[in-house]
Amino acid sequence: MGGASLHYRALERLYTSAPINRLFESQLHVEGEGRSRIVFQITEESYHAAGAAHGTIYFKMLDDAAFYAANTLVTDRFLLTTSFNLHFTKPVRVGEVVAEGRWISGKRRVFVAESRLVDHEGEEIGRGTGTFMRSHIPLSGLPGYADTSSNA
């Protein structure tokens, strides 16, 4: 397994290890440089009072997909979201949703990535664009990223 592939698998472990992700049934797949995909299950527990997924779910999925797409280009530091714009196009209820992230620009300090949400019928339900900046936090020191097992 090459260096880039090891980094991608480490990012997937990092996603899984984040305490927030214990609240949701989701899985990150880093598909290559600048590309990520998150498969997410919407349940009624994430509904607002009118019976559809709350906007926080849209934000989390869009931000995570864009973030991980951008962080594929950075192997030493954790990125931080500095801004994020999102657009809701359709309410979503129970079922599978896929968040697709794609890096757009930036390779030094600031990165721009976009993401979109697609429901189980293949329709786009939301879209976002984020700006991410290198932090002072080393990836290698984060739980989940640095896996010491032999199958890393």
Residue 134 has pLDDT above 50, yes or no: yes
pLDDT tens, position by position, 7-50: 999 999 999 999 999 998 999 999 999 999 999 999 999 999 99
Percent above pLDDT 90 for the chain: 91
Please list, in sequence order, all residues whose beta carbon lies within 8 angstroms of the beta carbon of residue 29, skipping any fewer than 6 positions away. Answer: 12, 36, 37, 38, 39
Task: Assess contact for 127 and 113: CB atoms under 8 A.
Answer: no
Task: Supply the DSSP symbol for 108.
Answer: S
Local confidence band at 140 (pLDDT 50, 70, 90 cut-offs)? very high
Local confidence band at 2 (pLDDT 50, 70, 90 cut-offs)? confident
Task: Assess contact for 84 and 129: CB atoms under 8 A.
Answer: yes
For position 146, what pLDDT does the model report?
Answer: 82
Average pLDDT over residues 65-82: 97
- Residues across the chain: 152
Homologous superfamily of domain range 3-141: Hotdog Thioesterase (3.10.129.10)
Average pLDDT over residues 48-71: 96
